[in-house]
Structure 1
């Protein structure tokens, strides 16, 4: 007589096999956790680095705002005279801005001066996008970690595309 299909039989696995399966599962969980921490660390570092400049480009109400004329560019910095337009500012003969954020020589750009220094940060859409470039790079790096280490490919694609769009927008705005 054939056996009934409603009857189930359990297969006993040895203790060694069960321990091996548990250890493998623990390793998978540990890998996911480690890669998640690494991706989070990359993103936090990108935001931290970007915020150092972005706060001046974005939150300019209580800051010294004005225009800078680009005169000389060398050593990754461009310098030129600064003329205040808003706030409690004073004209300065020389302030400097990152060369990547500066246009061609002789052009005027809107800037805000960091308090207590002669370092200027470009404002407006171009300045904001330029300030968030380190975060865009960290998004691209974290996307690789998420795709390769965590096997979350869709999430990685979204992160990578967002980073690439942010980099492209910053390049186009300059």
Structure 2
């Protein structure tokens, strides 16, 4: 898999071996999402459910700093750490469940990307938890990648949908955090 744009465009990103559960974000989806986001210089970025770290690397490649990647699967984590060194400075990586990170984190991000497994049943609860957390400030963007069959509301607490992009059976919804 390759980084699609920015400073590190074309760099190869390793995938964890032998794990069929990892679902790398499609190239076209990544290109489209980052075209919408544009230049990320000056923005902080958090990639929850990071897997290989490709989304965090795409953000860093476009100027986001700091970039934090969260992945709970300890079998995938060494590959994430290795890929993190592509960026300068390297991505900051934590091995923990996304839900735990959201509860413990005290730093607000400008952009949070959620890419839970497609069979993850708690997408709405995850958005609700994120909305009430210190991980967001007013104006933060939250992007969630999910199967088209799933239904997520246009508004979750102070998170209001501002855009939705469909890629085959895959959807990315953009939420903006408004006033509480």
Q: TM-score range by the shorter chain?
A: under 0.3
Q: Normalized against structure 2, the TM-score is what?
A: 0.22
Larger radius of gyration: 1
Q: Where is the helix percentage greater, Structure 1 or Structure 2?
A: 1
Q: Normalized against structure 1, the TM-score is what?
A: 0.22
